[in-house]
Amino acid sequence: MSFGDRYEVWGRIGEGGMSEVWLGKHTALCVPVIFKTIRQTVLDTVGAEKAGARLLNEARLMARVTNPRVVRAIDAGVTAERVPFLVQEYVDGLDLAELDRRRRANLGVGLPLWFVCYAMSEICDGLQSAHQAGVLHRDLKPSNVFGAPESGVRLGDFGIAVARDDEVREASGTMKFMAPEQFRGEKLSRRTDVYGAGATACDLRYGRSPFRFVDEVLDPEKQPDLPAPISAQEAYFQHTLREMLAKDPADRPASAAEAGRHFRSLATSLMPNLVAGQLIERHGLRIGQTVVTFEVGDLAETAADAIVSSANFQMQMRTGVADALRRRGGDDIEREATVHGEQALGACIKTGAGKLAARHVLHAVSAWNEVSCVGRATERALLLADELGCKRIAVPALGTGAGRVSMEMSANAMMTALRWHIMLGGSRLREIRVVLADEAKQRVYRDVAEEAIRGREVAVRAKADLGLPADEHEVLPEGATCIDTDQPENVPPVSRA
């Protein structure tokens, strides 16, 4: 697929019912971008002209909104193959649906209340700006919300957005998050999006939508299905949800900004303290109960539960760090990795570790031709490490070899992703060993990493919400990293094995 001389395309990274998503870069600025195109089957059905007009409308509506909490539209046009496309900024993180799903499945907990409230305050801020620009989103849901450790939470996918004064009557949206008036094909308003935001908040906190069936959504007497609150803050959160999910639009908050103020107040009062970035040794820092060390050495000789490899999308281990791991651990590691086929940028897969002093190798596909997906790849590597029960992992500077990402960009993306991961709680990780080739690289990496780990100062709290237990999962006390942070004696000694 050719998107013109201004862009270089890596390849397709996803698809939906009507569209395909591609990753590339702006050739002059060397920044990653996302391309959205209409699927060929849709083009064949509705015609290129109609499909192109719809995509152009999406681009124009996105371009109206200038709030940094909304994913920006950059460009629009038609490919050499006469396929209409939309160019958006790339958000280097995971959508909140994936983040929540993986935590529930593998850590046994959902997202903590402070984070849900923080994310919703950011979403409501972006939504309010869209409404002020005359745009209704119509498809609020966790998979359309992107959390990037470096840049925060962003609202995206305006694929079915409409101008506020458009006379739209079709019942478009995602069933679990649609307001009653959407199902009925009635006139929509900004309060329709307020309902969608409330349903999104409910799903993020409790792992389910407020109503299970359409008839429950349409029943004016049916109240949202919420568990008994476990604290005064949870009760306040649920009161806010019930107002946002009122069946009659007139009973909901008048604006997303009004709902956002409630979420922001809760997030501020619940934000945990990490005692972040405490120096514990000449080569180490502590964040929560996790120790981070910066070492000069050979990653292939490092002992850990898992070693992270800076992988290419073809999964071949013939250059840089990956080659060193293959030569030390054996060709079986590469053979196992290539069985999975090519991987999208930002992906992370596991293999055995062969003769390495580890149980697993985590292959993080983090960069291509100066395009950094280091943040997303790091998040997935950390989640995968937790899923495998790892307590000690060793990592290189991702993307700085063939990917040509600067050492500073790599350090900032990796360490902000780590800080985000630890702040959410539930992690089993207790030691992260950052292994670099020489002293000069270590100094550059550590200078940036220390500032990234510190982050912003937050109010001191002895305990923090870890997230509600997911169904049929046991929450183990040793799994927490963001609780009892006033007890540093629980931090394990730094291993030099």
Note the pLDDT tens digit of each residue in 151-198.
899 999 888 888 877 766 666 778 999 999 999 989 899 999 999 999
Cβ-contact 244, 433 below 8 angstroms:
no
- Distance CA(393)–CA(348), nearest Å, equals 14
Predicted model pTM: 0.89
**CB within 8 Å of 336: residues ≥ 6 apart:** 351, 352
Burial (Cβ within 10 Å: 0-12, 13-18, ≥19) of residue 250: exposed
Write down the pLDDT at residue 461: 44
Residue among 98, 106, 105, 182 nearest 142 (CA): 98
- Distance CA(153)–CA(74), nearest Å, equals 19
CATH class given for the domain over 278-490: alpha beta
Write down the pLDDT at residue 206: 96
Residue 292: phi, psi to the nearest 5? -115, 125
Could you tell me the residue ranges of all domains in the chain?
7-89, 113-270, 278-490
- Distance CA(321)–CA(311), nearest Å, equals 8
Write down the pLDDT at residue 407: 97
Write down the pLDDT at residue 148: 92
Structure confidence at residue 273 as a pLDDT band (50, 70, 90)? low
For the chain, what percent of residues have pLDDT higher than 70? 88
303-312 pLDDT per residue, tens:
999 999 999 9
Is pLDDT of 288 > 60? yes
Mean per-residue pLDDT for 475-492?
Answer: 43
CATH number of the structural domain 113-270: 1.10.510.10
Q: How many CB atoms lie under 10 A from the CB of residue 144?
A: 23
Structure confidence at residue 287 as a pLDDT band (50, 70, 90)? confident
Mean per-residue pLDDT for 384-410?
Answer: 96
Structure confidence at residue 286 as a pLDDT band (50, 70, 90)? confident
Write down the pLDDT at residue 168: 65
Amino acid at 289: Q
Write down the pLDDT at residue 477: 46
Q: DSSP readout, 374-440?
A: HHHHHHHHHHHHHHTT-SEEEE--TTSSTT---HHHHHHHHHHHHHHHHHH------EEEEEESSHH
Residue among 443, 435, 358, 355 nearest 398 (CA): 435
Q: Which two tokens stand for residue 3?
A: 């998107």
Structure confidence at residue 488 as a pLDDT band (50, 70, 90)? very low
| Beta bridge mates, 348 | 364
Is pLDDT of 495 > 60? no
Is pLDDT of 491 > 70? no
- Distance CA(200)–CA(193), nearest Å, equals 10
**CB within 8 Å of 50: residues ≥ 6 apart:** none
Q: Which long-range contacts (CB under 8 A, 24 or more apart) does 379-382 make?
A: 379/93, 379/94, 379/99, 379/149, 379/417, 379/420, 379/421, 380/94, 380/346, 380/347, 380/348, 381/308, 381/348, 382/417, 382/418, 382/421, 382/427, 382/429
Write down the pLDDT at residue 457: 47
Residue among 391, 392, 388, 367 nearest 377 (CA): 367
Residue among 25, 87, 98 nearest 58 (CA): 87
Same fold, 113-270 and 278-490: no
Q: Which of 291-300, 313-322, 355-364, 455-464 has the lowest mean pLDDT?
A: 455-464
| Beta bridge mates, 154 | 146
Mean per-residue pLDDT for 145-155?
Answer: 93
Strands 392-395 and 306-311: parallel
Write down the pLDDT at residue 275: 45
Structure confidence at residue 485 as a pLDDT band (50, 70, 90)? very low
Write down the pLDDT at residue 271: 82
The CATH H-level superfamily of 7-89 is: Phosphorylase Kinase; domain 1 (3.30.200.20)
**Angle, vertex CA 433, rays to CA 494 and CA 314, nearest 5:** 155
Is pLDDT of 272 > 80? no
DSSP 129: H
**CB within 8 Å of 331: residues ≥ 6 apart:** none
Write down the pLDDT at residue 483: 37
For the chain, what percent of residues have pLDDT higher than 90? 66
Burial (Cβ within 10 Å: 0-12, 13-18, ≥19) of residue 332: middle
Mean per-residue pLDDT for 85-110?
Answer: 93
- Distance CA(239)–CA(201), nearest Å, equals 12
Q: DSSP readout, 215-227?
A: HHHH-TTPPP--P
Write down the pLDDT at residue 15: 79
Residue 392: phi, psi to the nearest 5? -130, 125
Structure confidence at residue 279 as a pLDDT band (50, 70, 90)? low
Write down the pLDDT at residue 469: 79
Average pLDDT, the chain: 88
**CB within 8 Å of 63: residues ≥ 6 apart:** 72, 73
Structure confidence at residue 255 as a pLDDT band (50, 70, 90)? very high
Write down the pLDDT at residue 144: 94
| Beta bridge mates, 368 | 371
Write down the pLDDT at residue 431: 96
| Beta bridge mates, 363 | 309, 349
3-state percent helix, strand, coil for the chain, nearest multiple of 5: 40, 20, 40
Write down the pLDDT at residue 490: 43
Structure confidence at residue 462 as a pLDDT band (50, 70, 90)? very low
Structure confidence at residue 224 as a pLDDT band (50, 70, 90)? very high
Residue among 67, 193, 45, 211 nearest 125 (CA): 67
Write down the pLDDT at residue 340: 85
